[in-house]
Amino acid sequence: MQSLIICALILAFISPFMCIGLSATMEAYNVIDFGAKGDGKTDDSQAFLRAWERTCGAEGMTTLLIPPNYEFLLSRLTLKGPCNASRIQIQIGGKIVAPAKNKWVSYYFTWILMSNVNGLIVDGREGLLDGLGFTWWPCKACQRPSVISFNACNDLRVSYLRIVNSPRSHINVNDCVNAIFSAITIHSPANSPNTDGFNVYASKNIWIRDSTIASGDDCIGISGNSSYINVTEIACGPGHGISIGSLGRGNDNTAEQIYVRNCSFTNTTNGARIKTFPNGSGYAREITFEEIKLIKAGNPIIIDQFYNDYSPKDEGVEVSGITFRGFDGTCVRDKAITLNCGPQGCFNITLDEIKIVSHEEGKQVYCSGKNAHGTVTATTPNCSCLSP
């Protein structure tokens, strides 16, 4: 009797692991088996595509395997769905490098594109994507590609991905619903142009967590009809901070239900930022930044309704329901808090438990604002410019 119980217990414990074991033995397509050389010189794009066609076309759970200890040169890669496979995993073990600028034959908005693949899991442990951005950066006027874009990929999980040297933004998330990005490492120099870490566009239910982003533009930029976006435990810097917007151009100018928590801004030109064009339409609302650590940040808190244009207009993007709570640390400029709202005003702004001091001892910092309405509690520097 007792041995029967023990046996049942053992089975109860083991069977979930057996499921994991089974999924690990699911069909795997190794790019090497499809002719990839991985010598860092041969263009392996076609081999990757052949492996992808099999991965995507097979039934059930499949894996595209990009093995470690190789360097793959890819000219440009588009991995398209919809797929027959119910669940696809892409394991990036090796290093993947982009061609240098002079090897690109024409302009594409992205180097690697994943499009219309639902239930995709990307695991980049040991892997690295190198966009060779330093061959592009000197040409600021050039149309430069992003490293990787996820277009219309629902139920997406991306983890342990390391990306360096993007010619433009590192990761674009366009038109996706339900995605989690975790343990992502992004690195490009502070002076590299337009190298946003993440660009979230027209997406919903996105969680970006536990990641380190050093770049030459926004660590994370959220714009264009996005909602229910969580950003937690991000170490940002250098970079331009975490930005909502810019909103107001085009017809996809909404951002709402955005929650940024427990992030740090180190040596960034901005921290928590909302930027809108003065003459546009749309809204930014129900946005919270809280538990934010500042180390030599410029503009730690900033709402700017005059982005790239200083002429006041009566219309404009509605900014309301914005909370900044629990900011602590140092800033490099005198102006710690900027609430620069247009003539139409910003509403329901909450500032609470904020303590921002200058990184230079004894130097005063201040809060500046106009047309901003809301409440201030426990905030240093004082923000008497905020009216009810």
Ligand X SMILES: *[C@@H]1O[C@H](CO)[C@@H](O)[C@H](O)[C@H]1NC(C)=O
The residue among 166 and 254 lying less far from ligand X, judged by its C-beta, is 254
Q: Which residues of 77-100 are buried (b: 16+ CB within 10 A; e: fewer)?
A: bbbebebebebbbbbbbbbbbbbe
CA distance 171 to 219: 10
The SS3 of residue 23 is helix
- Among 123, 196, 217, 218, the one annotated catalytic: 217
The residue among 309 and 360 lying less far from ligand X, judged by its C-beta, is 309
Residue 262 beta carbon to ligand X: minimum distance, rounded to whole angstroms: 4
The residue among 67 and 278 lying less far from ligand X, judged by its C-beta, is 278
Residue 195 beta carbon to ligand X: minimum distance, rounded to whole angstroms: 13
CA distance 102 to 99: 8
The residue among 134 and 366 lying less far from ligand X, judged by its C-beta, is 366
- On whether the CB atoms of residues 242 and 268 are closer than 8 A, the answer is no
CA distance 274 to 284: 8
- Among 44, 170, 240, 304, the one annotated catalytic: 240
- On whether the CB atoms of residues 283 and 253 are closer than 8 A, the answer is yes
Rule CB under 6 A: which residues touch ligand X?
Answer: 56-57, 83-84, 190, 202, 204-205, 207, 225, 228, 230, 233, 238, 251-252, 259, 262, 267, 277, 279-280, 309, 320-321, 347-348, 366, 381-382, 384
Helix spans in the chain (H): 2-24, 45-57
Residue 103 beta carbon to ligand X: minimum distance, rounded to whole angstroms: 30
Question: What single string gives the DSSP state of each residue in 69-83?
Answer: S-EEE-S-EEEE---
Residue 106 beta carbon to ligand X: minimum distance, rounded to whole angstroms: 27
Q: Is 187 a catalytic residue?
A: no
Residue 292 beta carbon to ligand X: minimum distance, rounded to whole angstroms: 11
Q: Which residue sits closest to ligand X, CB atoms considered?
A: 57
The SS3 of residue 292 is strand
The residue among 144 and 209 lying less far from ligand X, judged by its C-beta, is 209
- The residues carrying an active-site annotation are 217, 240
